[in-house]
Amino acid sequence: MKIPKSKKRYCKFCKKATEHKVSQVKSGSKRGTLKWGSIQRALKRSVPGTGNKNRWGSKPAKPKRTGAKTSKKTNIKYTCSVCKKSTLQKKGIRAKKVEQE
Ligand SMILES: [Zn+2]
C-alpha cells in the first residue's frame, strides 16, 4: 500500500480543508488500541495482556494466539500545515507493507 506525502484534508481546528502532512505512527508511540468498554470486556474474558498478568490471586491468562495474520493495520497521522495540529486516522487498513511516495 502506498501513501502520499501530503494530502488535502478537512482540518477540524481550522474548520476548512487545508494541506496535511501524512506520516506513519510507529508502534512505540502508538496509543492504546482499545476503547474503555473493550478493555472492560477484555478483563472479564481474561484476554492476554490485560488485568492481573499471571500474578498471585488470579488465574493465568490464556496463551496468546500468534501468527494468525500476516498483515498489520496502518496508523497514519495527518498534520495540518496551517495550525500544525495533528489527527489520527479513524480506522486502519490492513496492509502487508506500507510505502510513502
Ligand atoms: Zn489546521
**CATH number of the domain within which 81 lies:** 3.10.450
Would residue 58 count as lying in a domain?
no
Cell of 12: 477540524
Q: How far is the CA of 3 from the centre of ligand 1 (A)?
A: 20
Q: What are the pLDDT digits (tens) for 79-89?
A: 999 999 999 88
How many domains, in total, are found in the chain?
Answer: 1
Q: Give the domain extent around 29.
A: 2-51+73-100
Q: Do strands 6-11 and 16-24 pair parallel, antiparallel, or not at all (unpaired)?
A: antiparallel
In a domain, 28, yes or no: yes
Asked if residue 26 belongs to a domain, the reply is yes
Report the run of H or E that residue 94 belongs to, with start and end. strand 94-95
Whole-number Å distance, alpha carbon 80 to ligand 1 midpoint, is 5
- Has residue 65 been placed in a domain? no
Total-model pTM: 0.61
Q: What is the pLDDT of residues 19-67, one digit of tens each?
A: 999 998 876 555 666 778 887 887 777 776 666 655 666 665 566 677 7
